[in-house]
């Protein structure tokens, strides 16, 4: 059994990463959330490169006068990463929640990315 929340999340993340990988046809949308910010990136695991990234520290989101660790900001980051991915011609991705429960900020980011046009 995990000794802390962080260890539990890391174990869930490792278990998920054994099954989920971003290939050339279908890249991986990875999410990381901290206490104050949220980050999303589209990764090609075969090349080991990050194709598109967005976070609550990016200029369009940073201008919003609100706390950066809430669902509203997660929605903005989700739509921003989807717009950037669509500009690069990426339409289909695999969602990787990085061991976080699919709830709250992670779910808000995923829903906003879907609404903006990403398929997963």
**Does some domain include residue 107?**
yes
Look at 9-13, 67-71, 88-92 and tell me which has the smallest mean pLDDT: 67-71
Could you tell me if residue 69 is inside a domain?
A: yes
Domain span at residue 79?
5-115
Residue 120 domain-assigned (yes or no): no
Task: Give the residue with greater pLDDT, 60 vs 24.
Answer: 60
C-beta separation of 27 from 43 below 8 A: yes
Across 13-27, 42-56, 59-73, which has the greatest mean pLDDT? Answer: 42-56
Is 80 exceeded by the pLDDT of residue 102? yes
Residue 88 lies in a domain: yes
Query: pLDDT digits over 39-57, tens only?
Result: 999 999 999 999 999 999 9
Give the range with max mean pLDDT: 23-32, 66-75, 102-111.
102-111
Count of domains for the chain: 1
- Give the per-residue pLDDT at 109: 97
Which CATH number belongs to the domain containing residue 91 in this structure? Answer: 3.30.420.100
Q: List for the chain the helix, strand, coil content (%; round to 5).
A: 40, 20, 40
Dist CA 81 CA 108 (whole Å): 13
Question: Is the pLDDT assigned to residue 36 strictly greater than 90?
Answer: yes
pLDDT of residue 8: 92
Please determine, for residue 1, whether its predicted confidence score (pLDDT) is greater than 80.
no
């Amino acid at each position: 059994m995990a000794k802390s929340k962080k260890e539990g999340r890391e174990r869930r993340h490792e278990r998920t990463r054994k099954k989920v990988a971003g290939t050339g046809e279908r890249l991986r949308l990875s999410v990381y959330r901290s206490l104050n910010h949220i980050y999303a990136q589209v990764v090609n695991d075969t090349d080991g490169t990050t194709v598109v990234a967005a976070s609550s520290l990016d200029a369009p989101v940073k201008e919003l006068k609100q706390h950066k660790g809430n669902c509203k900001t997660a929605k903005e980051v989700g739509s921003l990463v989807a717009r950037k991915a669509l500009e690069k011609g990426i339409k289909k991705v695999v969602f990787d929640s990085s061991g976080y429960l699919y709830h709250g900020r992670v779910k808000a980011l995923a829903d906003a990315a879907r609404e903006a046009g990403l398929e997963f």
